Structure 1
Amino acid sequence: MELRHLRYFVAVAETLSFTAAAARLRVSQPPLSQQIRDLERELGVALFERTSRRVGLTAAGAAFLDHARAILDQAELAAEQVRAIGRGHMGSLEIGLTGSVLGGRLGALLAAYSACYPKVALRLHEMSPQEQETALINRRTDLSFLRWPNDDPDLAIERAWPETVGLALPRRHRLGARRCVDLADLRDESFVFLRRTDSRFARHLWTCCIDAGFAPRIIQEVGDAQALVNLVAAGFGVALLPESIGRLSRAEIAYRPLAGTAASADVSIAYRADHRAVAGEFLEFARKFLAERHRVA
């Protein structure tokens, strides 16, 4: 039994006419009649009562009609789901990120995407940058949002949005009265820093300090940007932070822009060139969404 048999049977059952059913199906009547006879032979029961004046359903045919419709509906639903997955409109999307990136534009992007693609389940995986890249290469995730990604030949990288770096310092710090701070003025400060072994962004900030003429005196290294905020609030030292994190700082902290530095906290999207359809659909949506946000900004 094939789906074709069921479609032919339902057409005849609904029209109670082989001629009308053939017209609906756009086939000639003899093949249609043959398909119905083949179906009845396979089932071992007559589905229609045929006379010279009318066609009617037998009791078996009436019972079979409900099942045939349900099977055809399920087949169409399955086909629609498969087509939706193929177009990237259904399924799951695994996204790697660091906690600090959610403080930027990513939260708004994910909310807008979920509203447009409610049948795609977003799964967020908070990881260090190195873990994110390993997960991408091993296909455990589809995309990653991170700062200063590694130049890996297996990954495609494009900038998602620009972001500046600023200085977080205790509210009563001597530099708090300034509107902006030159990086070179921090040579005598104690720093709390992101862990350089885990973060190329942290190593980038270290290099910027070296270019400004000093090696930062690091008191504590942590793996999360929010931990830096808490350490600054506790008075451990100052911290170089992405703007999105600095603007969300606590009342005990002052956040000041940096002058005289090439420090950048730009966020990039990393993905495999042979990504799945759902990742490709997300990338197109993200490019348009972020371009519009940048234009408005």
Structure 2
Amino acid sequence: MNITLNNGVTMPALGLGVFQSAPEQTTAAVEAALAAGYRHIDTAAAYGNEREVGEGIRRSGVDRSDVFIETKVWVSDYGYDQTLHAWEKAAGKLGVGHLDLFILHQPAPDRFEKTIAAYKALETLLADGRVRAIGVSNFMPHHLTDLIAETGIVPAVNQIELHPYFTQPDVQAIDAEHGILTQAWSPIGGITFYPGWGEDRRNVMADPVIAAVAGAHGKTPAQVMLRWHLQQGRSAIPKSTNPARIAENFDVFNFELSAGDLAALDALDAGVRNGPDPDEAREERFAMAIPEA
């Protein structure tokens, strides 16, 4: 199942995420995903596993032209020249000549002038053919409004925390208004186990409403949540290093949720963010240097 981005590039709607995948596990996870049928891999400079993603793609035997590679620029590489160099680091580690989707990892609101400069570098990379599409991650409506006012190309993608307990309708609405694809990280609620953001949280995977919908379709809660994203026009990038779970997460194209099912999942939104707040200034992010290729 593909989605056409606002610049005409097609992208597989479902991808493998590798956030918190240890480098030593990432290569095998990517191999397993490509063997299961995935053709979209999402990584980031800050994850420290771009090199292993590239190795997994090469070991899989799947042609590079058939794999959609998405990665992200970390905030310590924001700025025009720095972001151009971030492309060199990412492409070098991945072992590729171009990136399919290159996005800014955070809005960095306390240094937004550097964010604007970084995005202008993405525009240059797009014009040069070194990337096929550009976008952002964790941008809230005011971040998007400010970015679009200062730059020439509307982002193709905005990757945000999105699962049944946190649906961010305001972000989804502004994305839709501008033709930006909403892409869900933590699409099956894995953020409930995000380190360092509190312990008192509910596990989306254990929700009784989702369990009932899953039982009615003979599917797992994870499969129901992924189908919910896809039917509502979003991209999703579930993370796993377990080959059986990786394959299970891809087995979501042979059933359909009813309007009532979709509404039941929508109604679970608690409006509570479990991941980092994109508007919070965190100086330590800029201290994390991304290694050279």
Question: Fold match, TM over 0.5?
Answer: no
**TM-score, normalised on structure 1?**
0.24
**TM-score, normalised on structure 2?**
0.25
Between structures 1 and 2, the one with greater strand share: 1
Task: Flag the structure with larger Rg.
Answer: 1
